[in-house]
């Protein structure tokens, strides 16, 4: 267990370094791209690429299945089975890529030409963006098995390095875009497409060289083929719901309010994604161990991981969400200079939604580890898909687009409560224990930290002072309360051990 904890800690640190750099570059690139393209073209890029993403639900479902089966096989040290999983999944990805091309060039193209609210003079540029998005998506589909292989082997150092390379390429796009002699929106789509190709080639070369399972071979294991498809078919419901909730709502906003509001929700999504990636990286380091511990039937360690990951994910995200939520208007103003309408409330509501999602991540991974996800997916997606009809109704009767995300936050709260009770029956998750050890501490710590930060923040008038004070006070209060309320005795002991180990290692280096 100690070696697993050390591996998780090392992987988490690697992913944090990657994310800090990625976040800084992402925030910078959004500002520059918005300035170069303008709100209208930025909104067009967001909603047009969103149509293509609508048809990638198959890829998302299959990626989840590949990751789960590879982790499970490697948890049992079954290299032969892992090799078969890789090869069969590669064939399925190829079929998915063909299907995505067919759907995007028929149904997707019809929807693009018939329903999207795009200014007539930008129709040609939007069409070019659409086609580049299709090809880029197909390349992304073929990246999936390589990404799953890297994570299954827990090679987070390369995962972080690859992300840094991608960040550098995106930064290059920002510098090239203003000097491109063509239409800026079309140039942006082309340069983004080239970035995807470069990353795909690097990922493929690395995996083929480093991992013996990452070599395609013809596999006729029909049973394994059916298992992969069976698992992904139920996971498919989840990705249909997620795509509908995210891209479907984006399209509804376009139909009712136009591309400028699409730019607002696109910016809010970028901010939220940059912040939430810290939790994604944290959970990425834990997820393989959750599946492998279940596969090895180490259920005590498995349950401890689920509790710990859910709780710490929330606390980690709260460090960033609280000061950003309270100062969203000022932060967006100094970041973008010209903030599109609705961007501030959109950003605040998405941050609240992410706090719920942070707790949900390990709960989903625990049910995925069992392999039996049929009932879970059916019920969970009733909540997720409810976003679309409810949003359509509120927009149709004339409510503000902000209500679309208010609905989302409300449904996220209901889903969190339902998931806990469902998993209490499915995997014998201690429901009372989860509420007392995870939900209660997160609510108490968030509430007290919010009260303290708002009280101290309101003593200042200057916006810069409020921002700095909010960051310092929220960090100190969350850190202090997390240690005294959020961590149990065992987790405090682990923390003390890691600190002492770090001090001794540093001292030994200084002596040498």
Q: Report which of residues 219 and 309 the model is more confident about.
A: 309
Average pLDDT over residues 61-83: 73
How far CA 360 is from CA of 156, 318, 356, 357, in Å, comes to 23, 15, 7, 5
- When mean pLDDT is compared across 182-191, 269-278, 287-296, 431-440, the lowest value belongs to 287-296
pLDDT of residue 508: 45
Asked if residues 80 and 148 have their Cβ atoms less than 8 Å apart, the reply is: no
| pTM over 0.75, yes/no | no
pLDDT of residue 329: 93
Whether residue 299 is predicted with pLDDT greater than 90 in this model: the reply is: no
Q: Report which of residues 238 and 493 the model is more confident about.
A: 493
pLDDT of residue 241: 66
At 457, the pLDDT band (50, 70, 90 cuts) reads: very high
Contacts of 212 (CB under 8 A, 6+ apart): 79, 83
Cβ burial of 408 (10 Å; 0-12, 13-18, 19+) is buried
At 490, the pLDDT band (50, 70, 90 cuts) reads: confident
What are the extents of the domains in the chain? Answer: 2-428, 430-512
pLDDT of residue 10: 56
Q: What is the pLDDT of residues 344-369, one digit of tens each?
A: 999 999 999 999 888 988 887 787 77
pLDDT of residue 58: 58
Q: Report which of residues 251 and 332 the model is more confident about.
A: 332
Which secondary-structure segment (H or E) carries 54?
Answer: helix 2-54
Give CA 384 to chain center in angstroms.
16
Average pLDDT over residues 308-318: 89
Q: What is the pLDDT of residues 374-402, one digit of tens each?
A: 777 777 777 888 888 899 999 999 899 99
At 448, the pLDDT band (50, 70, 90 cuts) reads: very high
- When mean pLDDT is compared across 30-39, 58-67, 479-488, the lowest value belongs to 58-67
Cα 281 to Cα 269: distance, rounded to the nearest angstrom: 18
Q: What is the mean pLDDT of the chain?
A: 81
Whether residue 4 is predicted with pLDDT greater than 60 in this model: the reply is: no
Whether residue 214 is predicted with pLDDT greater than 90 in this model: the reply is: no
Average pLDDT over residues 427-432: 85
- When mean pLDDT is compared across 93-102, 292-301, 463-472, the lowest value belongs to 292-301
Cα 437 to Cα 451: distance, rounded to the nearest angstrom: 22
Whether residue 510 is predicted with pLDDT greater than 60 in this model: the reply is: no
- Of 204, 47, 185, 18, the closest CA to residue 116 belongs to 47
Average pLDDT over residues 46-70: 69
- Of 269, 308, 268, 271, the closest CA to residue 286 belongs to 308
pLDDT of residue 64: 66
- Of 186, 357, 335, the closest CA to residue 270 belongs to 335
Asked if residues 343 and 267 have their Cβ atoms less than 8 Å apart, the reply is: yes
Average pLDDT over residues 68-95: 79
pLDDT of residue 505: 42
Burial 108-133 (b: 16+ CB within 10 A, else e): bbeebeeebbbeeebeebbbbbbbbb
At 17, the pLDDT band (50, 70, 90 cuts) reads: low
How far CA 152 is from CA of 75, 77, 87, 147, in Å, comes to 9, 12, 15, 9
Would you give the DSSP letter of residue 179? G
How far CA 308 is from CA of 287, 303, 408, in Å, comes to 12, 9, 26
Average pLDDT over residues 107-130: 87
- When mean pLDDT is compared across 11-25, 91-105, 222-236, 464-478, the lowest value belongs to 11-25
pLDDT of residue 399: 92
- SS3 readout for 422-463: HHHHHCCCCHHHHHHHHHHHHHHHHHHHHHHHHHHHCCCCCH
pLDDT of residue 318: 93
pLDDT of residue 405: 93
Which residue is it, tokens 């550098």? 168
Cα 495 to Cα 330: distance, rounded to the nearest angstrom: 36
Average pLDDT over residues 73-102: 81
Contacts of 109 (CB under 8 A, 6+ apart): 130
Q: What is the pLDDT of residues 177-206, one digit of tens each?
A: 888 878 888 998 899 899 989 999 998 999
């Amino acid at each position: 267990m100690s070696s697993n904890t050390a591996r998780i800690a090392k992987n988490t640190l690697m992913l944090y370094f990657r994310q800090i750099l990625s976040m800084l570059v992402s925030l910078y690139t959004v500002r520059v791209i918005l300035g170069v393209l303008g709100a209208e073209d930025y909104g067009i890029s967001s909603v047009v690429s969103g149509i293509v993403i609508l048809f990638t639900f198959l890829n998302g479902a299959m990626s989840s299945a590949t990751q789960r089966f590879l982790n499970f096989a490697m948890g049992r040290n079954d290299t032969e089975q892992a090799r078969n999983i890789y090869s069969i999944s590669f064939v399925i990805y190829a079929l998915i890529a063909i299907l995505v091309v067919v759907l995007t060039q028929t149904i997707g193209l019809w929807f693009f030409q018939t329903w999207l609210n795009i200014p007539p003079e930008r129709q040609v540029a939007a069409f070019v963006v659409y086609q580049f998005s299709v090809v880029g998506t197909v390349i992304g589909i073929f990246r999936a098995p390589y990404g799953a292989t890297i994570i299954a082997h827990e090679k987070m150092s390369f995962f972080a390095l690859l992300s840094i390379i991608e960040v550098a390429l995106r930064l290059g796009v920002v510098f090239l875009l203003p000097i491109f002699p063509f239409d800026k929106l079309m140039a942006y789509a082309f340069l983004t497409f080239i970035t995807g190709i470069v990353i795909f080639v690097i990922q493929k070369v690395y995996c083929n060289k480093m991992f013996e399972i990452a070599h395609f071979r013809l596999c006729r294991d029909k049973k394994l083929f059916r298992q992969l498809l069976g698992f992904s078919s139920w996971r498919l419901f989840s990705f249909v719901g997620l795509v509908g909730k995210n891209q479907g709502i984006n399209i509804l906003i376009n139909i009712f309010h136009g591309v400028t509001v699409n730019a607002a929700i696109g910016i809010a999504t970028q901010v939220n994604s940059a912040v939430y990636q810290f939790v994604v990286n944290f959970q990425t380091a834990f997820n393989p161990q959750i599946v492998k511990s279940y596969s090895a039937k180490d259920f005590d360690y498995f349950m401890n991981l689920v509790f710990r990951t859910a709780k710490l994910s929330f606390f980690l995200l709260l460090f960033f969400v609280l000061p950003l939520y309270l100062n969203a208007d000022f932060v967006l103003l100094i970041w973008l200079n010209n903030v599109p309408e609705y961007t501030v409330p959109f950003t605040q509501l998405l941050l609240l939604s992410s706090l719920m999602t942070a707790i949900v991540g390990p709960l989903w991974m625990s049910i995925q580890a069992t392999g039996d996800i049929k009932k879970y997916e059916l019920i969970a997606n009733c909540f997720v898909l409810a976003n679309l009809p409810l949003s359509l109704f509120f927009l149709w009767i004339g409510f503000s687009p902000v209500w679309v995300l208010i609905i989302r936050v409300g449904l996220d709260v209901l889903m969190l409560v339902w998931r806990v009770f469902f998993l209490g029956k499915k995997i014998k998750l201690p429901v009372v224990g989860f509420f007392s050890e995870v939900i209660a501490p997160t609510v108490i710590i968030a509430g007290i930290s919010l009260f303290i930060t708002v009280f101290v923040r309101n003593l200042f008038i200057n916006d810069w002072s409020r921002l700095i004070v909010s960051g310092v006070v929220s960090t100190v209060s969350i850190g202090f309360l997390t240690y005294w309320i959020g961590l149990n005795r065992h987790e405090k002991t682990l923390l003390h051990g890691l600190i002492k180990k770090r001090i001794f290692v540093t001292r030994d280096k200084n002596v040498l």
